[in-house]
């Protein structure tokens, strides 16, 4: 969030955003309760439901600094290497490269004497891109961590729900793998209206005819099932804020909402803007679109793509 725009733009909420994080109070309490009772917790839900924000902002702000040290891990090319990189990047002790990963984690813990939370975000990437050997190695590592009483380490696996059943085959290594789990539901439209109202208030934006304006915002961005995708809401509110900033009284009214229009128009304009920016460097619009198409699935959700695959696609289009 910048000084002028109270709305987050396509970013997850972090611990510093606690004053503008609304709508997940109940879910935060539920996750906090589960985390306190278990050393391994699974958080899953549909893409775009705000799982990362719930952990990095909602959950993180439930702890004092002395009770929370987050090691944030994304798989990248190999999840085991990424864990080691996260440890090395934050460790105060120089750890020998050949030190076993579990021992490196113990050294890291002793550096701070604070509970360590290993947060694996977008954990489904292990099943999308990881080999069977990598998956087995990781699960063996998790099993070892859970058995060791000398490690004050807790593990949170955050993943899209369509990959949740991939964990079944690891119950032999981790019998309690499903004991502590939580499904994050979509926010209801009433809750989303509450969120927009409160963030606007924090940003000093007044809303004229509040009920009508908030309902129109929801109507403009809801899909055929009357559901709202949070990333789309972020883009929409960012564009809406730009219009509000141009108004004399910094007020949000029905005329401003109607001027912005429906979601498909806003997303179309946004995508064209992004492509134009990238095109300044690549100088080939067709190539930009070709690369962007690799980053989404047929269902319209994001998918991880390795740098090598992107380069390969780039070379194909270039020819």
Work out the average pLDDT over 123-134. 94
Q: Domain 24-184 carries which CATH code? A: 3.40.50.300
Q: CB-hemisphere CA count at 13 Å for 146?
A: 17
Query: 248 pLDDT band (50/70/90 cuts)?
Result: confident
Task: Report how far residue 302's alpha carbon sits from residue 231's, in angstroms, rounded to the nearest whole number.
Answer: 11
Task: Report how far residue 108's alpha carbon sits from residue 92's, in angstroms, rounded to the nearest whole number.
Answer: 7
Task: Report how far residue 157's alpha carbon sits from residue 248's, in angstroms, rounded to the nearest whole number.
Answer: 47
Decide if 20 contacts 8 (C-beta within 8 A). yes
Beta carbons within 8 Å of 102's beta carbon, 6+ residues apart: 141, 144, 145, 148, 151
**Domain spans of the chain?**
24-184, 189-266, 284-319
Instruction: Return the pLDDT at 314.
Output: 61
Instruction: Return the pLDDT at 302.
Output: 59
SS3 of residue 103 by DSSP: helix
Whole-structure pTM value: 0.86
Residue 274, pLDDT above cutoff 80: no
Query: 2 pLDDT band (50/70/90 cuts)?
Result: very low
């Amino acid at each position: 969030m910048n000084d002028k725009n109270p709305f987050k733009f396509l970013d997850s909420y972090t611990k510093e955003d606690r004053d503008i994080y609304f709508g997940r109070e109940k879910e935060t309490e539920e996750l906090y309760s589960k985390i306190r009772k278990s050393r391994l917790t699974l958080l899953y839900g549909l893409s775009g439901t705000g799982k990362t924000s719930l952990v990095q902002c909602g959950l993180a702000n439930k702890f004092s600094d002395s009770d929370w040290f987050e090691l944030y891990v994304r798989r990248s090319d190999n999840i085991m290497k990424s864990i080691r990189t996260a440890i090395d990047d934050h460790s105060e002790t120089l750890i020998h490269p050949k030190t076993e990963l579990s021992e490196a984690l113990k050294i890291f813990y002793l550096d701070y004497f604070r509970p360590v939370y290993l947060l694996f975000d977008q954990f489904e990437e292990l099943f999308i891109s990881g080999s069977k050997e990598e998956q087995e190695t990781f699960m063996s590592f998790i099993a070892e961590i859970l058995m060791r009483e000398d490690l004050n380490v807790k593990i949170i696996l955050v993943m899209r729900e369509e990959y949740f059943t991939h964990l079944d085959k690891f119950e032999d290594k981790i019998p309690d793998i499903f004991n502590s789990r939580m499904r994050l539901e979509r926010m209801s439209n009433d809750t989303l209206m509450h969120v927009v109202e409160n963030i606007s208030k924090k940003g000093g934006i007044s809303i004229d005819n509040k009920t009508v304006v908030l309902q129109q915002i929801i109507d403009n961005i809801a899909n055929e099932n009357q559901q709202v995708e949070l990333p789309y809401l972020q883009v929409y509110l960012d564009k809406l804020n730009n219009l509000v900033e141009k108004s004399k009284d910094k007020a949000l009214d029905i005329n401003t909402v109607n001027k912005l229009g429906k979601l498909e128009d806003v997303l179309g304009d946004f995508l064209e803007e992004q492509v134009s920016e990238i095109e300044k460097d690549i100088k080939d619009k067709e190539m930009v679109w070709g690369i962007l198409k690799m980053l989404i699935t047929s269902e319209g959700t994001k998918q991880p793509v390795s740098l090598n695959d992107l380069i390969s696609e780039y070379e194909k289009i270039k020819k």
